Amino acid sequence: MTDTPNSTQDATPETADVLVVGSGIAGCAAALAAAREGAEVLLLTKAEKPDGASTDWAQGGISTTRGDPESLKRDILEASDGTADPDAIDVLVEHADDAVEDVLLETLGIEFDETSEGEFDYTREAAHSNHRILHVDAATGTHILRPFLNYVDDHDRIEVRQDTAALDLITHEGRVHGVLTDEEPDGHPVFAGTTVLATGGIGALYTRSTNPDDATGDGIAMAALAGAEVEDMEYVQFHPTAYDCEAQRASRRSGDAAERDDPFLLSEALRGEGAVLRNGHGERFMDDYHPDAELAPRDIVARAVETEREETGEVVLDVSTLEGEFAEEYPAIAEKCRDRGIEGDEIPVAPCEHFLCGGIAVDENGRTSLDRLYAVGECVRTGVHGANRLASTSLLEGLVWGLRAGEDAADSGAEPEVVEAPDLRNSDPDLPERFAAEKSVRLKRTMDEYLGLERDPEEIARASAVLRRLKGEVDAYIRTRTARDLYELRNACVVTLLIARAAGENDESVGCHYVVSDGDEATAEPESPADD
């Protein structure tokens, strides 16, 4: 890699063999695999600390096959309502255990929880037929990502550059040559033989999410604007048991709750080990919705929880029915509950945006439809999840596809080519401090209201119109400004339009995409984001 130039004027262009954008488990895996193949790797990340990556927020664990790949394949396919790609699942389950053994156990030495007999303490989560999930308390993502980042950062062939945002892909004649970053006021080009997007999810598009605040769908937007294929964007998964901060706000007004009330995830492992859901009348209700009760697929549990909240006022997760003591078995979650003034065994819960099952379309090696561009992690559509993701498969998918993409990207033999980069302008005065934040609130409210757990075709069309206008407003300002928050807002607008378009084109209720009414057909098709 060349040194970072101080100026884009008459400077030696910065290059890398493999450029990775994103620092979650998928990005780290891609960087590691590429470096193992002898490539010089540059990893760029918006994050300044580990919890800026979605991996750090992952609680439950990472699934293994536990020696039975066919069983895991059946569970993944069933959770997807039969929509997952069997070939993609085969790639996942056939490489799952080797990837976990190689990277997490041998390379990083992750100390997963064990039983008193010194064996792995495999847990079970919703829609899994067996106990096969490795975990560390209920904070597995943190315990994986932090040592992974340290390992990658110490690697001789990998440079990690934090607090650096990719603004646009550099393309020429259908080939990707790198990215423009925000390291210079008018954009700093980084050229690469191959580029790997690992930019995470879209949680910042909704008011309530289990994702970091900067999960604005950057990779999906940049790839789509460059012409890459995207698929299954309507399948936005909501986790059924996130802490219900609205309920606690009501309690705080009566003087019964602590000040801290930000949402956090109540791991699915709690229900896997015996916790139950109760409505405002104290009744356990999941038996009325699915034979597997609390262990039904996520989309079913999430809609049931929301229905019961609307009909009875609240839903709580009762942890008194756990096989072990809540505070002893799940100390991290118990501490978060105490911080928020939650006493007793009943924790208020509500559905919360959690994971995008679709994204940039990739093959078994993470290759996109654009030459020299790869993508891995939550920003991609591998086909593994279909319309609904099985619990604790996201870290596994990121690890497996990250390793495969990094190796393939390094082995491609592509050399960095310096081409003409987009000419960004940064000539106008800065916008008011709250401009991007206020537009973001408008976007989130639109997504919450029209593209949440349930969708109506008329409301999807209404959302599309609102989002097109919003993107037009943002585009008018971004033409002469390169501020990171503006580009994040542009990316969010692009992704919301992709979600709205996919939702409007799919009139079948399946998995995460639940259509409540036929309604009237929209009078106009949402336009392509690239055309706005």
DSSP result, 334-379: HHHHHHTT--SSEEEEEEEEEEES-EEE--TT-B-SSBTEEE-GGG
DSSP-derived 3-state class of residue 454: coil
Q: Are 395 and 244 in contact (CB under 8 A)?
A: no
Q: Where in the chain is the domain with CATH 1.20.58.100?
A: 434-515
Considering just the CA atoms, what is the radius of gyration of the chain in Å? 22
Tell how far CA 486 is from the center of its chain.
21
Stretch(es) of the chain classified as CATH 3.90.700.10: 239-250+262-354
- Position 248 scores a pLDDT of 53
Residue 241 has what pLDDT?
A: 95
Residue 380: strand pairing partners:
360
- Residue 36, helix vs strand vs coil: helix
Q: Which pLDDT does position 428 carry in this prediction?
A: 77
Give the span between the Cα atoms of 69 and 77, in whole angstroms. Answer: 12
Numbered ranges of CATH 3.50.50.60 in the chain = 15-235+357-412
Q: Report residue 312 CA to chain centroid gap.
A: 31
Q: Which one-letter DSSP state was computed for residue 117?
A: T
Q: Cα 383 from chain centroid?
A: 15
Q: What phi and psi values does residue 88 have, to the nearest 5 degrees?
A: -65, -40
Q: What is the pLDDT tens value at each position of the chain, 532 positions in all?
A: 654 444 444 478 999 999 999 999 999 999 999 999 999 999 999 988 666 566 656 667 999 999 999 999 999 999 999 999 999 999 999 999 999 999 999 999 999 999 999 999 999 998 999 999 999 987 888 889 999 999 999 999 999 999 999 999 999 998 999 999 999 988 999 999 999 999 999 999 999 998 888 899 999 999 999 999 999 999 999 999 999 987 654 554 444 444 445 678 898 889 988 999 999 999 999 999 999 999 999 999 999 999 999 999 999 999 999 988 899 888 889 998 998 888 889 999 999 999 999 999 999 999 999 999 999 999 999 999 999 999 999 999 999 999 999 999 999 989 999 999 988 888 777 777 788 889 999 999 999 999 999 999 999 999 999 999 999 999 998 888 888 999 999 999 999 999 999 999 999 999 999 999 754 443 333 344 444 4
| Tokens 């609240």 sit on residue | 314
CA distance 347 to 327: 13
Q: How far is CA 98 from the centre of its chain?
A: 24
Residue 307 CB neighbours (<10 A) = 17
pLDDT of residue 493: 98
DSSP count for the chain of H helices, then E strands: 14, 16
**For residues 243 and 340, what is the distance between their CA atoms, to the nearest angstrom?**
10
Q: What is the CATH number of domain 239-250+262-354?
A: 3.90.700.10
Residue 298 annotated in active site: yes
- Given the residues 124, 132, 271, 298, the one annotated as active site: 298
CATH for 15-235+357-412, options being 3.90.226.10, 2.60.40.10, 3.50.50.60, 3.40.50.2000: 3.50.50.60
- The sheet with strand 359-361 has its strands ordered as 230-231, 359-361, 380-381
Element (H, E) at 77: helix 69-79
For residue 41, the cross-strand partners are 18, 158
**What b/e sequence results for 142-176 when a residue is b if at least 16 CB atoms lie within 10 Å of its CB, and e otherwise?**
bbbbbbbbebbeebebbbbeeebbbbbbbbeeeeb
Query: How many CB atoms lie under 10 A from the CB of residue 83?
Result: 19
User: What local confidence, expressed as pLDDT, does residue 92 receive?
Assistant: 98
Q: Cα dihedral angle (471, 472, 476, 481), rounded to 10 degrees?
A: 10
Specify the 3-state DSSP secondary structure of 403. helix
Pairing of strands 175-181, 166-172: antiparallel
Q: What's the CATH code, domain 434-515?
A: 1.20.58.100
